[in-house]
Amino acid sequence: MLDALVIGAGAAGIAAARRLSELRQRYAIVEAKAFAGGRALTDNATFGVPVDLGAHWLHTPDQNPLTAWADALGVRYLQRAYATRYSLGSAWLSDEETRACADYIERCFAAIDVDGSTGVDRAVSDLLDEAGPWAGAFAAEFAAKQGVTPREASTLDFARYLWDGDDLPVVGGFGNLVARLAEGTELTTVCTVSRIDHARADAVRIETSRGDIEARAVILTVSTGVLRDSIAFDPRLPGWKRAAIEDLPMGSCNKVALRFERDVFGGLRDCLVLPQRGAVEAVEFVLRPDGRDIAVCLVNGPFGRDLAGAGGDAMRDYALERLCEIFGSAVRGAVAPARVFVDWDRDPCARGSFSAALPGGADAREALALPVDDRIYFAGEATHPHFMGDVHGAWLSGVDAVEALTGATA
- pLDDT, residue 410, reads 62
Q: Are 379 and 332 contained in the same domain?
A: no
Q: Give 121's contacts (C-beta < 8 A, 6+ positions apart).
A: 154, 155, 156, 157, 359, 360, 361, 362, 363
Are 153 and 195 part of one and the same domain? no
What's 129's domain CATH number? 3.90.660.10
User: Same domain, yes or no, for 161 and 199?
Assistant: no
Quote the pLDDT of residue 198.
97
Contact status, residue 369 vs residue 378, Cβ threshold 8 Å = yes
Number of domains in the chain: 2
Measure Cα distances from 84 to 98, 127, 153, 209, 270 in Å.
Answer: 10, 25, 25, 46, 9
Residue 70 lies in a domain: no
Alpha-carbon distance 104 to 82, whole Å?
20
- Answer yes or no: do 211 and 261 share one domain: no
Residue 171's closest CA among 264, 78, 93, 267? 78
Within a domain: residue 259? yes
What dihedral do alpha carbons 84, 87, 92, 94 form, nearest 10°? -70
Burial of 374 (0-12, 13-18, 19+ CB in 10 A): exposed
For residue 340, the enclosing domain spans: 83-165+253-346
For residue 269, the model assigns a pLDDT of 85
pLDDT one-digit tens code per residue, 147-179: 999 999 999 999 999 989 999 999 999 999 999
Same domain membership, residue 300 and residue 224:
no
> What pLDDT is stored for residue 65 in this prediction?
98
CA distance 101 to 94: 10
* 147 and 190 fall within a common domain: no
pTM above 0.85, yes or no: yes
CATH number of the domain where residue 188 is located: 3.50.50.60
pLDDT of residue 385: 96
Same domain? For 87 and 110 the reply is yes
Low-confidence ranges of the chain (pLDDT < 70): 291, 410
Residue range 264-303, pLDDT digits in tens: 998 888 899 999 999 999 999 999 877 679 999 999 999 9
Q: Are residues 153 and 191 in the same domain?
A: no
Among 321, 346, 371, the domain boundary falls at: 346
In-domain check, residue 116:
yes
CA distances from 376 to 26, 203, 218, 219 (A): 16, 10, 5, 6
- Do 274 and 333 share a structural domain? yes
Identify whether 205 is part of a domain.
Answer: yes
Q: What is the 3-state secondary structure (H, E, C) of the chain?
A: CECEEEECCCHHHHHHHHHHHHCCCCEEEECCCCCCCCCCCEECCCCCCCEECCCCEECCHHHCHHHHHHHHHCCCCCCCCCEEEEEECCEECCHHHHHHHHHHHHHHHHHHHHHHCCCCCCEHHHHCCCCCCCHHHHHHHHHHHHCCCHHHCEHHHHHHCCCCCCCEECCCCHHHHHHHHCCCCCEECCCCEEEEECCCCCCEEEEECCEEEEECCEEECCCHHHHHHCCEEECCCCHHHHHHHHCCCEECEEEEEEEECCCCCCCCCCEEEEECCCCCCEEEEEECCCCCCEEEEEEEHHHHHHHHHCCHHHHHHHHHHHHHHHHCCHHHHHEEEEEEEECHHHCCCCCCCEECCCCCCCCHHHHHHCCECCCEEECCHHHCCCCCCCHHHHHHHHHHHHHHHHCCCC
- 268 and 244 share one domain: no
pLDDT at residue 309, rounded to an integer: 98
Phi, psi of 214 (to 5 degrees): -110, 140
Note the pLDDT of residue 238.
98
Nearest residue to 142 via CA among 6, 155, 131, 132: 155
In angstroms, the CA 266 to CA 325 distance is 14
* Residue 220 shares a structural domain with residue 270: no
Q: What is the pLDDT of residue 131?
A: 77
Count of positions (residues) in the chain = 410
* Same structural domain, 340 and 393: no
Encoded amino acid at 118, one letter: T
177 domain-assigned = no
